[in-house]
Structure 1
């Protein structure tokens, strides 16, 4: 099967996020093994789980890119917005896990939390909506 360059880029992103999840799993294990209660910091656990879930979600995005009726630029912009915020969320969890500064970033908000969350919602939902409509346009109409 010949994949478009846009699909290849998104598949590569999925693979890199999955690899990141595996590395985060090692970090989580080290914390569990060295902890009296055998649990990792909540944000280390969250980073690991989110990276696993986002890697598979990125595979779903790649599928919609492959079967979209939009051009490669539209697909890459839409998928890129989604993947960028997936990675930013994981990065935020890693940051809090590394610093051990909170167990709830919404309780301990910093400046920019709300604008970031609004941007995340718009980018992820908007990006996927574009890809979904591209799929419907090309495959169902």
Structure 2
């Protein structure tokens, strides 16, 4: 059976937790916010406090990033660090959330609709 990208995203969405942009904005938690878009996309505008780890390298870089890896206290497991991911429309972040869960991260959410829905809801987009 051959799957399309849409099939993969739909399957991922059945296995992850998605939150709306307004849910994240109302309670941003003490979490790591990861924008999984490409650096050029990130530069066009992103959610404040987001770190950019592109989807294509996420699985290779997430453990080493100081925002995720708890370097101050090695006794604490970084796999329990709350993580919220987003992309442009939610597809890449759904796939990213699923793979982070597969890697053992226990508290992962994806922003449904991505930054497109975020901006449509009138929520702030920043450029650094």
Q: Into which bin does the TM-score normalised by the smaller protein fall?
A: under 0.3
TM-score by length of 2: 0.25
More strand by share: 2
Radius of gyration: which is bigger?
1
TM-score by length of 1: 0.23
More helix by share: 1
